Structure 1
Amino acid sequence: MWDTIKEDLKAIRERDPAVRSWIEAVLCYPGLHALFFYRIAHFFYRIRLYLLARMISNIGRFFTGIEIHPGAQIGKGIFIDHGMGVVIGETAEIGDYVTIYQGATLGGTGKEKGKRHPTIGNNVVISSGAKVLGPFTVGDNSKIGAGSVVLKEVPSDCTVVGVPGRIVVKDNKKLKCVDKREEIDLDQVRLPDPVFQEIECMKKRIADLEDYIYKMEGDAKHDIV
C-alpha cells in the first residue's frame, strides 16, 4: 500500500504545476488524503469488515469532500485534482495513472446487483463535472471532456464530449511512453465539438442551396424576358 501511495504522491508532482514541494503535496492535497482514507478502508472491506470500512470512508468524505466507496478497485498513480464532489461507486474499477478532476462521478444507472459502475483504463483523464454512468469500459489513454455524460463504452485513445457523450477520435499523434507510463494529455479546453461541426456543415449547405435557388430564379426570369 505504501508503494502505491508513493506513486499517488509522485502523480501530483508530475501533473500539477502549482505544487512546489513534497511536503506541500502531502499536507495540502485533499485528493491524496481521500486516496489514503480509501486504501485503509479498502483493506478492511477486503477482509469483510464492511461497517468499519464504510465508517473510515465517511470520515474521508467529511474531511475531503470526495466520496470513494471502499469496495472500488483503484490502481496506482491516481491524481484527483481539487476533488470536491468527486464520487466513485462500489464496483468501479480504475487503472493506473488516471487523472480525475472536481465534480466527476463514476456511478451506476439503477438498483441492479453486481457490476454496475464503470471500468476505467490506464492513463485516462476524466475532466471537471463529467459523469460516467454504467457497467462499461473506458479504454486506455482516453479523455472524457468537461461536463460530458458518458453512457456507453469508449474505445482506447478516444475523446468523448457532449451530453450524451459522443466519441471523437483524436487526430493528434499518439501519446509517448515515459518511464512505463503514458504521457498524459491534461488539456480540458481544446477538445473537438462534433455538434458545432455538424451545425457549421449544415449552415454551409443551406448557404449553398440558397445561392443555387437564387441562381435558378435569376435564370428563369432571364428566360421569360
Structure 2
Amino acid sequence: MFQRMKDDLDMVLELDPAAKNRFEVLLTYSGIHAVWAHLVAHWFYKKDLKLIARIISQVMRFLTGIEIHPGANIGRRLFIDHGMGVVIGETCNIGNNVTIYQGVTLGGTGKEDHKRHPDIDDNVLIAAGAKVLGNIRIGESSNVGANSVVLKNVPAHSTVVGIPGHVVKQHGQRVRKHNNFDHRDLPDPLFEKLLELEKEVNNFRREVGSEVKDGSHI
C-alpha cells in the first residue's frame, strides 16, 4: 500500500511541472486524495459493504469534485490532474499510468446492461472535457483529445478527436494531415468543417458577383 502511494506521488511529480515535492502533492492534490479514498471504498465494495463504499465515494465527491464509483477498477499511477468534474462509472476498468484531466466522463450510454462503462488500457491520456461512453476500449498508449465524445473502440497507439470521436493518428502515422497532436493543441474537426463552409460561401459570392457584373442574369 505504501509503495503504491509512493508511486502515485511520483507520477504527479513526473507529469506536473507545478508540483514541487511529495509533501506538497500529498497535501494539496485532490486527484491523489480521490484515488486513495477510492481504494478504501473499493475494498468495502468487494466485501459487499456497498452502502459504506458509496458513502465514502460521495464524501470524496463533495470534497474533491471527483466522483469515482467504488465498483470501478483502477490501476497504479493514475494521475487525475485538477480533477473537478471527473466522473468514473461502476464497471469502468482503468490500467496503469493513465492521465485524466478535468471534466472527463467515463460513463455509459444508457443502452448497455451489466458492463456499461469503458475500459482504459495502460498509458492512455484523456484530455479535458472528453467523454468516453459505453462498453468500449481505449487502446494502450492512446490519446483522447479535449472535448471529444468517443463511442467506439480506439486502437492502441492512436489519437482520437472530435464529436463523435474519430482516429486522426495511429502508430505514429497521420490518418489525416494535421500539424500537432499535443493534447493542448489537437485538431478540431468542427472548426475545420466551418472553414470549408466559409470557403464555399465565399466562392458562391464571387460567382454571383461575376454574373451580375457581366449582366448574364439581367
**TM-score bucket of the superposed structures, by smaller chain:** 0.7 to 0.9
What is the aligned partner in structure 2 of residue 137 from structure 1?
A: 137
Distance 2:171 2:197 in 1: 22
Residues 66 and 58 of structure 1: is their aligned pair in 2 closer, same or farther, counting only changes over 3 Å? same
Equivalenced residue count is 204
CA contact (8 A) 1:159 1:167 kept: yes
Q: Give the whole-Å Cα distance in 2 for the aligned partners of 1:128 and 1:33.
A: 19
Instruction: Determine helix, strand or coil for the equivalent of 1:188.
Output: coil
Is the aligned partner of 1:19 residue 2:26?
no
Cα shift at 1:9: 1.1
Kept in 1, the 8 Å contact 2:112–2:135? The answer is no
Cα offset, 1:193, TM superposition: 4.1
Q: Is 1:191 paired with 2:190? A: no
Cα 1:171–1:39 shift into 2, 3 Å? closer
Contact 2:159 2:167 in 1 (8 A): yes
Output the CA distance in 2 between the equivalents of 1:204 and 1:109: 36
CA contact (8 A) 1:5 1:76 kept: no
The 5-angstrom pairing of residues 196-215 of structure 1 reads none
2:107 touches 2:133 (CA, 8 Å); kept in 1? yes
Q: Which deviates the most, 27-36 or 106-115?
A: 106-115
- Comparing 5-14 with 72-81, which one deviates more in the overlay? 5-14
Q: What letter is aligned with 1:192?
A: P
| Structure 1 residue 10: Cα displacement | 1.1
Q: What secondary structure sits across from 2:20 in the alignment?
A: coil
Residues 64, 205 of structure 1: alpha-carbon distance in 2 compared, 3 angstrom cutoff? closer
Q: What is the aligned-residue RMSD (CA, Å)?
A: 2.7
Taking a change above 3 Å as real, the CA distance of residues 189 and 47 of structure 1, as seen in their structure-2 partners, is same
1:211 corresponds in structure 2 to none
Runs of 5+ unmatched residues, structure 2: 174-180, 204-218
Q: Which amino acid aligns with 2:121?
A: G
For 1:62 and 1:207, locate their aligned partners in 2 and report how far apart those are by CA, in whole Å. 51
In structure 1, distance between residues paired with 2:104 and 2:140:
18
Amino acid aligned to 1:79 = F
Secondary structure in 2 matching 1:106: strand
What corresponds to 2:160 in structure 1?
160
Q: Which protein has the larger Cα radius of gyration, Structure 1 or Structure 2?
A: 1
Unaligned runs of 5+ in 1: 174-185, 209-225
